[in-house]
Homo-oligomer: A and B are copies of this chain.
Amino acid sequence: MKNVRNDTASRLKDPMEMRLGYQLRRASMALMSDLAARLEPLELRPVEATILLLIGSNPGCRQGEIAESLGIKKANMVPLMAALVDSGLVDRARADGRTHALSLTARGAAKVTALNRVLDRHEAVFRSALGSKALAALLQSLVVLRNGER
């Protein structure tokens, strides 16, 4: 016997069980950690993956637009984008004197193809755990939470 207080496994009583924000965060962490592990073979982190997807869907976009869309400060985009350009996945073409038009290179596009396959497999696990009805309701609720916050 390991513990006096509790035969099963000394689990603490959890007062956050009914707290929406807490459960949301823990669920999000579970998915993020699964995703990060699955992206490792592609040598991508989750942020880099979302940036590539965004550029792929919006060729010619600016760095600041991506930052705004992802909720990242523009200052923090600099090293992220530099890494993607350096590894030959993103092309940065001068648009005017202060803006760059971003697009995927051939290697970047191939990476996005592989990436989407990984994402599909990643999501399949969790989608099937929910069922399609609960899944649709969940996605809907998440949008409400994200937009109705203030």
Contacts and interface: CB of A to CB of B under 8 A. Distances in A.
B137 A141 contact: yes
Nearest to A64: B10
Interface of A: 5, 10-16, 18-35, 50, 53-54, 56-58, 60-61, 65-66, 69, 71, 119, 122-123, 125-127, 129-130, 134-135, 137-146, 148-150
* Oligomeric state, in copies: 2
Q: What DSSP secondary structure best describes chain A's contact surface? A: helix
B150 A130 contact: no
A30 B149 CA distance: 7
A23 B148 contact: no
B126 A134 contact: no
A53 B125 CA distance: 32
Contact of A20 (B13, B18, B126): B126
